[in-house]
């Protein structure tokens, strides 16, 4: 029987009060059906151990029914302000000229995005990135322009080089050996993804980049699609580690697109690591870690080397988890 004839028949029966509740159930994707759908459980996931503190701040927002975009911003700000995290914001290691330069990006569930790179003397680059997203028609501001924009919006200029960072830098300068180390030196950049009670996804990523990088070097972290990407119909991904490898494979976009093609978050992050293995000679010398989530709140994590961990706040519990990895 054709759908139309079925409809006419059912309409007639319904008006007679003959159809069961099940037969009359609303079509999928109507407001009615979504109201009755499964309850969405919020979650926050972030890279590395410092993600534990970031998740606590994000959870304060999410557990009150707040938005994913506000959760990720307030989450990563905790790490930006922490002088003991030497890869992000205040206390971040400087470049080879002794200057702390910051990269950050943010993306919301509407697909809007904002980013700053090579920003100096501002403690919360993520909030500047959010202003770029919310208050300009642009996505990315760099260097002096980003600083000027931040100052116009009332951000304060501060010296971000702590005594500890400075002393380490002075020591490094004695030999000036530019050697990015796996897991030890460069890797506690924070990338965070959140799923809120509405089922909306947002992401943020913020870093001082590689320690003792060339002045002006920008990594993957502020680049939408490289360091972080969200597609609210699919999921989100963030990257950490040697940014050049992520940029060359547009890692976070790749992960989200693989999920869009049907992969689970775990399959997608593993495939994105394999892409680096296949395409980039010398990949063994560097660490890369990916995190991903999808709309159902499933998560994925994978890295090149052992040693990548991540913080997952879900079901009212915050846990630090070791990621599986490629090079066994």
Helix (H, G, I), strand (E, B) or coil at 102: strand
User: How many residues make contact with ligand SD4 (CB under 6 A)?
Assistant: 15
- Of 243 and 300, the one with the shorter C-beta distance to ligand SD4 is 243
Residues counted in the chain = 328
Catalytic residue among 30, 101, 162, 189: 189
**How far, in Å, CA of 305 to CA of 287, rounded?**
6
In the bound complex, what is the minimum distance in angstroms from residue 28's beta carbon to ligand SD4? 40
Using CB under 6 A, pick the residue from 187, 225, 292, 293 that binds ligand SD4.
187
Burial class (CB in 10 A: 0-12, 13-18, 19+), 210: buried
- Of 202 and 221, the one with the shorter C-beta distance to ligand SD4 is 221
Other CB atoms within a 10 A radius of the CB of residue 318 amount to 18
77 binds ligand SD4 (CB under 6 A): no
Per-residue binding string, ligand SD4, 79-118, x by CB under 6 A, is --------x-------------------------------
Is 110 catalytic? The answer is no
Using CB under 6 A, pick the residue from 45, 78, 102, 210 that binds ligand SD4.
210
Using CB under 6 A, pick the residue from 50, 127, 221, 303 that binds ligand SD4.
221
219 binds ligand SD4 (CB under 6 A): yes
Q: What are the angstrom distances between the C-alpha of 104 and each of 19, 77, 265, 287?
A: 56, 11, 23, 20
240 binds ligand SD4 (CB under 6 A): yes
Q: Identify the DSSP state of 260.
A: H
Stretch that binds ligand SD4, among 22-30, 139-147, 241-249, 275-283 (CB under 6 A): 241-249
Q: What are the angstrom distances between the C-alpha of 273 and each of 26, 132, 150, 164?
A: 42, 31, 35, 34
CA atoms in the 13 A half-sphere facing the CB of 72: 35
Stretch that binds ligand SD4, among 152-160, 185-193, 263-271, 316-324 (CB under 6 A): 185-193
* Best CA proximity match to 47, nearest among 300, 326, 261, 283: 300
User: Which positions touch ligand SD4 (CB under 6 A)?
Assistant: 87, 186-189, 207, 209-210, 219-221, 240-243
Q: Which residues are catalytic?
A: 189
């Amino acid at each position: 029987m054709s759908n139309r004839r079925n409809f006419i028949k059912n309409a007639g029966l319904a008006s007679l009060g003959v159809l069961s509740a099940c037969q009359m159930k609303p079509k999928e994707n109507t407001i009615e059906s979504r109201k009755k759908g499964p309850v969405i459980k919020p979650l926050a996931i972030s890279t590395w151990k410092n993600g534990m503190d970031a998740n606590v701040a994000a959870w304060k927002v999410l557990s009150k029914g707040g938005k994913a975009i506000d959760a990720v911003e307030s989450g990563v700000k905790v790490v930006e302000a922490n002088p003991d995290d030497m890869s992000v914001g205040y206390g971040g290691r400087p470049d080879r000229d002794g200057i702390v330069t910051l990269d950050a990006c943010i993306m919301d569930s509407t697909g809007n995005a904002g980013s700053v790179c090579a920003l100096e003397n501002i403690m919360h680059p993520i909030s500047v990135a959010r202003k770029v997203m919310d208050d300009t028609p642009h996505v990315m501001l760099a260097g002096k322009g980003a600083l000027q924009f931040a100052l116009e919006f009332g951000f304060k200029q501060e010296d971000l080089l702590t005594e500890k960072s400075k002393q380490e830098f002075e020591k490094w300068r004695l030999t000036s050996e530019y050697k990015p180390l796996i897991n030890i030196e460069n890797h506690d950049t924070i990338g965070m993804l959140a799923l809120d009670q509405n089922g909306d996804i947002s992401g943020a990523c913020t870093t001082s980049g590689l320690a003792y990088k060339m002045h002006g070097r920008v990594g993957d972290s502020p680049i939408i699609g490289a360091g972080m990407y969200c597609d609210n119909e699919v999921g989100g991904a963030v990257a950490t580690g040697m940014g050049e490898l992520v940029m060359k494979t547009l890692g976070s976009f790749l992960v989200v697109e693989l999920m869009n093609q049907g992969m689970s978050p775990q399959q997608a992050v593993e495939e994105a690591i394999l892409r680096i293995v296949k395409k980039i000679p010398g990949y063994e010398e560097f660490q890369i870690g990916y995190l991903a989530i999808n709309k159902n709140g499933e998560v994925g994590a994978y890295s090149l080397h052992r040693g990548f961990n991540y913080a997952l706040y879900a079901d009212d519990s915050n846990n630090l988890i070791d990621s599986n990895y490629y090079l066994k």
